[in-house]
């Protein structure tokens, strides 16, 4: 269901536990009642519409095995090296230009290069840089650029992700797990379940592209690599940048990713393998080989998401 109580995103499944994957489960859907309510896991809202017999379970109802929780990382006393606001936004269409999904109103694009950006990430950042968030009159400056964040090895990175869009956005991070610190939800009518207002703890000034959370605190101990940023709500995540590479953070709704709701996180650029040095025809062959291997890797990643 979306924030207006429409059941357009709706699916049910039977989870099968056992040693024989060929055996089809015989479980039947039961009737939900006040005495035996049904439960919806990973709800992006606090209640399941107007249905009193279905209980929403959010991240506040879940936890990760303590053996996998980095207590030092999530402690309030931990010094965060990199802290960013990420606003999940939609830029509307204009004459002769289509609209697009974005992060901080920046439409993700990759620069053209004759070598994989993994071998020369600095060049990628310089070829298609993003400028600061700018208002042109009452309109947002439309930018198609290589949106990226650079982290040194073992930096502690925290993202405050705000979603005042009308869609739920499942955010996925490549290359690392993250710890969910907190998740906030929109205000709903307790009787109908209809959307009333964005989360009141977050105040945003779109003129300066700044958001402040007045009541955010660490409320969960959950380790994930994908989770929903609720419509009208927010998410706070934190992770250690200890896996050198170029890793994408993106919305896992594929059309949103395709239209630019993504950014790249450059982790430990100084530890990445440089492009091989050679001359003449060897350079051309090496570049073609690296491009071919990168294409194969990209196809493998895309295949996992299809």
Q: What is the pTM of this model?
A: 0.82
Residue 101 lies in a domain: yes
Lowest mean pLDDT among 159-163, 221-225, 301-305: 301-305
Assess if residue 13 is contained within a domain. no
pLDDT value at residue 97: 79
Question: 138 pLDDT exceeds 60?
Answer: no
Q: What is the per-residue burial (b if ≥16 Cβ within 10 Å, else e) of 120-133?
A: bbeebbeebebeeb
Say whether pLDDT at 278 is over 60: no
Indicate whether 165 belongs to any domain: yes
Let me know if residue 198 belongs to a domain. Answer: yes
DSSP annotation of 236 reads E
SS3 289: helix
Do the domain assignments include residue 156?
yes
Residue 254, in any domain of the structure: yes
Whether residue 52 is contained in a domain is answered as no
- The enclosing domain of 109 has a CATH number of 2.60.40.420
Min mean pLDDT across 83-92, 97-106, 205-214, 266-275 is at 205-214
Cβ-contact 266, 246 below 8 angstroms:
yes
pLDDT band at 123 (very low <50, low <70, confident <90, very high): confident
Q: What is the pLDDT of residue 88?
A: 94
pLDDT at 201 over 90: yes
User: For residue 303, which phi and psi values (nearest 5 degrees)?
Assistant: -65, -35
Look at the chain and report how many structural domains it folds into: 1
- The predicted-structure confidence for 224-267, as pLDDT tens digits, reads as follows 999 999 999 999 999 999 999 999 999 999 999 999 999 999 99
Distance CA 88, CA 295 (A): 28
Q: Is residue 168 part of a domain?
A: yes
**Enclosing domain of residue 107:** 63-275
How far is CA 215 from its chain centroid? 22
């Amino acid at each position: 269901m979306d924030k207006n109580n429409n059941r357009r995103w709706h699916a049910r499944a039977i989870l099968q536990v056992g040693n024989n994957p060929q055996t089809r489960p015989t479980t039947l859907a039961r009737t939900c009642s006040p005495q035996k309510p049904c439960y919806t896991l990973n709800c992006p809202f606090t209640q399941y519409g107007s249905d009193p017999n279905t209980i929403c379970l959010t991240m506040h109802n879940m936890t990760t095995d303590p053996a996998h929780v980095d207590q030092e990382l999530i402690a309030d006393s931990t010094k965060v090296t990199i802290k960013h606001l990420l606003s999940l936004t939609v830029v509307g269409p204009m004459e002769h230009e289509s609209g697009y999904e974005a992060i901080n109103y920046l439409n993700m694009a990759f620069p053209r290069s004759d070598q994989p950006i993994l071998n020369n990430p600095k060049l990628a950042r310089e070829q298609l840089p993003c400028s600061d968030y700018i208002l042109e009159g009452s309109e947002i400056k439309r930018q198609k650029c290589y949106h990226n964040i650079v982290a040194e090895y073992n930096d502690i990175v925290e993202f405050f992700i705000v979603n005042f869009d009308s869609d739920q956005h499942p955010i996925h991070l490549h290359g690392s797990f993250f710890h969910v610190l907190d998740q906030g939800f929109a205000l709903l009518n307790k009787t109908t379940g209809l959307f009333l207002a964005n989360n009141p703890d977050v105040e945003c000034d779109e003129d300066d592209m700044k958001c402040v959370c007045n009541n955010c605190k660490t409320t969960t101990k959950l380790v994930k690599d994908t989770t929903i940023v609720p419509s009208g709500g927010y998410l706070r995540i934190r992770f250690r940048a200890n896996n050198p590479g170029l890793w994408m953070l993106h919305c896992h709704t594929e059309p949103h990713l395709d239209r630019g709701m993504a950014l790249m996180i450059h982790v430990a650029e100084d530890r990445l393998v440089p492009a091989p040095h050679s001359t003449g025809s060897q350079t051309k062959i090496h570049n073609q080989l690296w491009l071919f291997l990168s294409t194969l890797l990209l196809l493998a990643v895309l295949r996992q998401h299809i």
